[in-house]
Amino acid sequence: MTAGTRLRALILGSLAIAMVLSLVYSTSTHYGHADVPVASTAAEIKPLVAGDPAPYFTVETVDNESFDFDPRRLERPVVLISFRGGWCPFCNIHLSELKDVLPELSGMGIDVLFLSGDRPELLYSSLSRETQGHFVGLGYTILSDANAQAAIALGIAFKASDKTIQRRLDKGQDIERSSMQRHGVLPVPAVFAISREGEITFAYANADYKVRLPNDELLTAAAELVAQ
């Protein structure tokens, strides 16, 4: 191979790599906030809003199997509900309250997916016994976002303070390999309604983790989702 041929091959190879990187970048920005830095605080998050395309992300099931959420291949409308983890008492209260609306959402033809910052094997066991009892037989799906991929893509990830992490450890709470300990990241509790076409039709995120979306507002958003 001559010097000129090698140079041409090198240039073509560089162009090909540049095209691939450009495609990856454009896909990440179009389907979520994968390119946006994690917010320094909960108050600084930039969540996706109604009208945005829902993001593609990979989380894990309770059996440690990958679960790909692909908004371009949805069979039914989806409601995504993120929470910090089973160690959070306010998350347990919210999840217990949702028991009253999950059957209605299912009856509307909506799939409900819960996204937790806990690792897969703690998705159920970390919840309070009362919360676990409330969800028996409701057919919901709870997924692990311990890698924080979904939280980042949805724009609801923020840096957990060292004080917050240490407080959890001092209380003896099992946060090993959670999004908080592995990456120092927590999700702001949020709700996203997503149409079968992959468009976000409703979004709610509150930096105050003690404040959650009321059930009646969730049902109103769900009704609007299925009416489209």
More confident residue, 217 or 84: 217
- Provide the mean pLDDT of the chain: 79
Structure confidence at residue 129 (pLDDT) = 57
Average pLDDT over residues 27-47: 68
Helix (H, G, I), strand (E, B) or coil at 187: strand
Sketch out the chain's domains with CATH numbers.
31-227 (3.40.30.10)
CA dihedral 38, 44, 47, 51 (to 10 degrees): -130
Q: Which two tokens stand for residue 145?
A: 């976002």
What is the pLDDT, as a whole number, of residue 124? 53
User: Which helix (H) or strand (E) element contains residue 92?
Assistant: helix 89-98
- Under the banding of pLDDT at 50, 70 and 90, the label for residue 131 is low
Section 169-195 average pLDDT: 77
Cα(73)–Cα(90) distance, integer angstroms: 33
Between these two residues, 136 and 148, which has the higher pLDDT value? 148
pLDDT in tens, 54-99: 999 999 888 888 999 999 999 999 999 998 887 888 888 888 888 8
Confidence at 181, pLDDT banded by 50, 70, 90: low
**Position 133 confidence tier, pLDDT thresholds 50, 70, 90:** low
Q: Is residue 144 over pLDDT 80? A: yes
Residue-wise pLDDT for 40-55, tens only, equals 999 999 999 999 999 9
Cα 24 to chain centroid distance, Å, stands at 20
